Amino acid sequence: MERLYRKLEEYSRSDYYPFHMPGHKRNPESVRGEFPFERDITEIEGFDNLHHPEDILLEAQQNVAKVYGVRESFYSVNGSTAALLAAISAAVPRNGEILVARNCHKAVYHGIYLRNLKPTYIYPQMDNEWWINGGIFPDKVERCLAANPEIKAVLLTSPTYDGVVSDIREIAEIVHRYEIPLIIDEAHGAHFHFSNYFPTSAAELGADLVIQSFHKTLPAMTQTAVLHNCSERVDSRLIRRFMGIYQTSSPSYILMASMDACMDTMNTEGHQMFRNFTMMLEQTRKRLSKCKYIRLVEPQIGENGVFDYDRSKLIFSTRYSSLSGTGLYHVLLERYHIQMEMESENYVLAIAAVGDSEEGFERLCQAIEELNQEQITLTKDREEKGEELLDARSMHCVLTQMMSMADAMETESESCPLEESVGRISAEFAYLYPPGIPLLTPGEQITGQFIRNMRIYMEKGLYLQGLDDYSNKSIRVVVPQAAKEQFEETDG
């Protein structure tokens, strides 16, 4: 088959003159800096159209579906965000109901807002030793669906940001008994298909729509993702419609070529690449598992809803050391020049991928081993010292939804000092980034527990986003009269 990335390379060397967009005209001298302008084109003759694919882009997406063994796959040049928005919109009618894991990415909540959906939340189990989210128990899904017969779809994140995988096969069987689709945000699991060292992809376990970010764990450029349609429970026509709505009408050919090249590489060299990668990764895990104070976390399969876990997620807990997660993150960055993926109060996360080198793994091992050695004796548990132990990315307050997200965001609101907002209805999101899981959504009633948690997050220097006030001293809340009118309208 003709490969998009090869054709783009050839075209970049041709003498065709571009009296068309984009404005740089494939001329590197038109702007400062080094960018691949020569390969940056628009929908010109011979290069198809992502929103009406008939030729090379159709074949490229069909090739993805063939690689993953699914009915059809759709390119997303707006990451998993656009794919999640499209999946939700295609699977659930406007004003409908959806069952959502509370630890889903903010894009899921944006989809709920845009479609004015009524969410029912299901909470992951908590791992109380490591303070990370566990998995979703299938029986919880069963109970929620039995209690809410109007739910039109179920959406879960598996693997989680920390690599925890739920029992997708059993959950899919339960969901399908209610004759509705199962959507899985597998953004962090695009690599699962290429090695038995990793968990089985949801696309092979009965999920109907599966969203994967190529750029997170495969050798592809940032912003590349796919939506796999694995069954006939969601209308393909609707998927295409909403993928066209949530993506730009001028998709980047560089990004699409990156996805095509990634699949070509996986087809031809993927087996050996993943063999080498998993060997290095397993050696690294065995070596670092010997550290006593900076501990490599291994979620226990069979406990806390953990059905399986992704061993490419390297979680280093500081609970048995004198360091905090934030402290470890900054030491690794400043002393060792190692940039981790994420910091929390009690751990840091490193993401390993097939593009990693032996030298990179060695640097990480040496850094962790040296820091572990510096922890001569265990410090007293932070709880005994009177410090609050809380991980903002895994602990969720169960809050009451007083208004729909859409109503809360679009009705009249006002700024309120954070400390005085208890009992008010939030008009905005609050979340930590990464991973972008909302701690508070519009329409929920603010509680004293939420304010207490927020205070701890800020004291720990964690990165809080979502509030209109970047200083996090105030929060926008629904004006009381507007809330009253909404309630009266709803009751009426």
Distance CA 327, CA 304 (A): 28
Distance CA 47, CA 275 (A): 35
- Asked whether the bond before 36 is cis by omega within 30 degrees of 0, the reply is no
The answer to whether the CB of 60 falls within 8 A of the CB of 259 is yes
Q: pLDDT at position 463, please?
A: 67
Quick one: DSSP state of residue 401? B
Distance CA 393, CA 344 (A): 7
Considering only CA atoms, which of 318, 319, 323, 313 is closest in space to residue 349? 313
Lookup: tokens for 400: 């009451």
Distance CA 412, CA 394 (A): 31
Considering only CA atoms, which of 224, 223, 227 is closest in space to residue 181? 227
The answer to whether the CB of 427 falls within 8 A of the CB of 478 is yes
- Asked whether the bond before 434 is cis by omega within 30 degrees of 0, the reply is yes
Lookup: tokens for 96: 């409908």
The 3-state DSSP class for residue 445 equals strand
| pTM strictly above 0.85 | yes
Q: pLDDT at position 435, please?
A: 74
Distance CA 400, CA 74 (A): 36
Lookup: tokens for 488: 């009266």
- Tens of pLDDT along the chain (492 residues) come to 799 999 999 999 999 989 888 898 999 888 888 889 999 999 999 999 999 999 999 999 999 999 999 999 999 999 999 999 999 999 999 999 999 999 999 999 999 999 999 999 999 988 888 888 899 999 999 999 999 999 999 999 999 999 999 999 999 999 999 999 999 999 999 999 999 999 999 999 999 999 999 999 999 999 999 999 999 999 999 999 999 999 999 999 999 999 999 999 999 999 999 999 999 999 999 999 999 999 999 999 999 999 999 999 999 999 999 999 999 999 999 999 999 999 988 899 999 999 999 999 999 999 999 999 998 655 544 444 444 445 544 456 788 999 999 999 999 999 999 999 999 999 999 987 777 788 899 999 999 988 888 888 777 777 678 899 988 889 999 998 866 666 666 665
Considering only CA atoms, which of 159, 112, 488 is closest in space to residue 301? 159
The answer to whether the CB of 154 falls within 8 A of the CB of 142 is no
Lookup: tokens for 33: 């800096």
The enclosing H or E element of 273 equals helix 253-288
The enclosing H or E element of 283 equals helix 253-288
Considering only CA atoms, which of 56, 112, 4, 83 is closest in space to residue 246? 83
Count of C-beta atoms within a 10 Å radius of residue 337: 9
Considering only CA atoms, which of 297, 293, 339, 298 is closest in space to residue 316? 297
Q: pLDDT at position 383, please?
A: 42
Distance CA 412, CA 27 (A): 49
Q: What are phi and psi for residue 487, nearest 5 degrees?
A: -65, -45
The answer to whether the CB of 140 falls within 8 A of the CB of 355 is no
Count of C-beta atoms within a 10 Å radius of residue 480: 12
Lookup: tokens for 319: 């609970």
Lookup: tokens for 153: 């779809």
| Exposed/middle/buried for residue 361 (C-beta within 10 Å: 0-12, 13-18, 19+) | buried
Residue type, 371: L
